[in-house]
Amino acid sequence: MGMGAQANNMLSSAGHAVKKAHLLKFELKGKKIKGWVWKMAFVSRNNVGVFAQYTGDNCYTAYRIKRVAKGLVTAYPHVIVGRKVIFRKLVKGSLWFSVIAFLLPMLFFVIRIVRECCLRKIHGL
C-alpha cells in the first residue's frame, strides 16, 4: 500500500483542523511584507528577522518570522518550529522527567527510613 494511505489520512485531517492564523502586513527596511502566520507570539516594535520570498510589485510573502531577543519562531500554518527548538524542548522535557522519576522514589525511600528509625527509638530497639 505504501505511503499513499498515510499521506491521504494526513491531508484529510489537515483539512478539518480548526486553527487560528494571523495575516500580518508590515514594512521592513522599506519593503512591504505580508504573510499568514500561526501561533503568533509578537507585539508591535519587536526586533524580528524575516524569511520571505519576493512576489513582485515590491512585495514579499513572509514564511517565517523570528523574534531575535528570545529566539521564538512563528511560521506559515502547519510549520511550527525549527529543529533546534524541538531538540531543546525534548532535552528539557527528558531532563525534567528523569529528575522527577529519580527523586520521587528517593523521597518515598527516605520517608520509609525515617519512619523505621523513629519506630525503633519508640520501641527501644
Domain borders along the chain are 17-80, 82-125
For the chain, what is the mean pLDDT? 77
Highest mean pLDDT among 12-26, 38-52, 60-74, 95-109: 95-109
Q: Where are the beta strands (DSSP E) in the chain?
A: 21-28, 31-38, 48-56, 59-67, 72-75
CA–CA distance, 63 with 74 (Å, rounded to integer) = 9
Question: Mean pLDDT throughout 12-38?
Answer: 73
